[in-house]
Amino acid sequence: MRLLFVCVGNSCRSQMAEGLAKAMGHQADSAGTHPASAIAPNAVTVLEARGIATEGMQPKSVDGFSADDYDLVISMGCGVQCPVMRIDHDWGLEDPVGGPLSLYEATANEIQRRLNLL
């Protein structure tokens, strides 16, 4: 399945979703409406602890993507509005940015649970 995960900063939830989806064999990308300057260190820690490589992952703008290239465009939450891009699902996940590692792990677990349901 071709999946695009969208959020505001593209530094935590959407990056973890991209990595987890790729590990399951999906074609996946992630982007943000206002990309951060870097991926959150705890997001990197969570992915690498699951054996997922994070080399080359960086926040990207939704402006560089077209929903037409994906089977599903999934918002991570936080009321993301992309006027030129359709959003198929809004997962409404709490943003772990600035939180403890345990919050990132819980978020990754919920993302994995939802990916398993696709």
Rounded average pLDDT over 104-109? 98
pLDDT surpasses 80 at 73: yes
Rounded average pLDDT over 24-35? 95
Predicted structure pTM score: 0.93
In this structure, of 34-38, 40-44, 75-79, 81-85, the range with the lowest mean pLDDT score is 81-85
Q: Tens digit of pLDDT for each residue in 80-100?
A: 666 568 889 999 998 999 999
Rg (CA), the chain: 13
CA dihedral sign of residues 116, 106, 35, 78: positive
Q: Distance between CA atoms of 37 and 50, rounded to whole angstroms?
A: 24
Question: Domain range for residue 37?
Answer: 2-117
> Active-site residue numbers?
7, 78, 82
pLDDT of res. 81: 62
pLDDT surpasses 80 at 104: yes
Rounded average pLDDT over 88-117? 95
Q: How many domains does the chain have?
A: 1
Q: State the CATH number of the domain containing residue 109.
A: 3.40.50.2300
